[in-house]
Amino acid sequence: MSPDRSIIKQGIADALPLFVPAIPFAFVIGVVIVDSGVSPVVGWSSSWIIFGGAAQLTLISLLGSGAAAAAAITAALVVNARHLMYSAAMAPVFQHQPRWMRRVGPYFLIDQQFALAILRADDDPKTFRTYYLSAGLVFWSMWQITTVVGIMLGPIVPVSWSLEFAVSILFLGLIVMGIDKYPKLVAALVGAGVTYLSAGLPNRAGLLVGAFVGILVGTVAERLRE
Amino acid sequence: MTDFLAIVAVGIGTYLSRGVFILALANKKIPDSVLVALQFVAPAVLSALIVALLIDSDGNIAIGVAEVSAFVVGGAVAYKTRNHILTLITGMGVFWLVRALI
């Protein structure tokens, strides 16, 4: 087998198990799209236009709950601001890549892709590129398919199941699994508390106030810890 | 149409957040203070979202025993197993169970 094919196989084999945790997100996104009143085709287009589960869930849930578009867009972008860290970490690796790859690469840079790619930072440029695109295309195609399945199952799920609550459970799981030090716990609790206190603000602006204060207090707690 | 434009706006913003350093600022470093703050984006925003999604259109929080039970059990399962599928199943299971009982 040529080295290229073995690298492609490696990329696929590494990506498939990492996709499993994304399956419930894909399913719930499908159901939320159907519930939200956003047209299914438009809702699904977020899978290839945004290609990021947490931001898609945030945007569609908020649009469906009657939030102003500007507030929903801002919230979804804030959710995805963590990608700036990935971009900065991957930038040196991508300097050895051709221009087309530097343009295409960021589109695939989801959480799981970053976790795999950063481990391959020392590969030669061609090997890295082959691996990166193989894994990225696995995540991408699986995401397109599973979100379509979610949308098709959406109308079958009775409204009385209140499956939109699943979004909250999934986000709680993301928070809990991401907390590796107490300032992150502080950021989460303050974010929730301040959002609760500013619930009366129009256009769900309380969400952004809560998020901002949470980030601020988390940063301060981190400084105090050092 | 508004929905589609909102998706496109988030799509462009997401691509830029993933690409800005790869495309343009490869030699620029993110200031350390910003890197520190970025770690707290996910926990702060996601927990704010959980609360925001439980607020109804009148600004009241729609949270009862079922939701709180689901958060407690789901949170514990997430912490113990680090498994999204199990977290979803137990969280929703408790939510439905408690709602049916009360």
* Distance to chain A for B101, nearest Cα, Å: 15
pLDDT at A106 over 90: yes
Residue A40 contacts B where some CB pair is shorter than 8 Å: no
* Best A36, A83, A114, A209 residue to mutate vs chain B (most B CBs within 10 Å): A83
pLDDT at A204 over 70: no
Say what the pLDDT of residue A47 is.
95
Judge whether A6 is closer than 8 Å to chain B, CB to CB.
Answer: no
Q: What is the pLDDT of residue A46?
A: 95
Q: Per the CB < 8 Å rule, is A85 touching B54?
A: no
Residue A82 confidence class, pLDDT cut points 50, 70, 90:
confident
pLDDT at residue number A182: 93
**Identity of the amino acid at A201:** L
User: Hey, is B31 helix, strand or coil?
Assistant: coil
Mean pLDDT of the residues in chain A: 88
Q: Which of B13, B18, B49 sits opposite A207 (nearest CB)?
A: B49
pLDDT confidence of residue A153? 87
Nearest-neighbour CA in chain B from A2: distance (Å): 30
Most A CBs within 10 A among B2, B12, B23, B49, hence the mutation to make, goes to: B49
pLDDT tens per residue, range B38-57: 888 888 988 988 888 787 76
**pLDDT at A2 (0 to 100):** 65
Domain-by-domain residue ranges, chain B?
A: 1-28, 31-60, 64-102
Mean pLDDT of B27-45: 80
For residue B98, pLDDT over 70 is answered with yes
A109: nearest CB among B18, B37, B45: B18
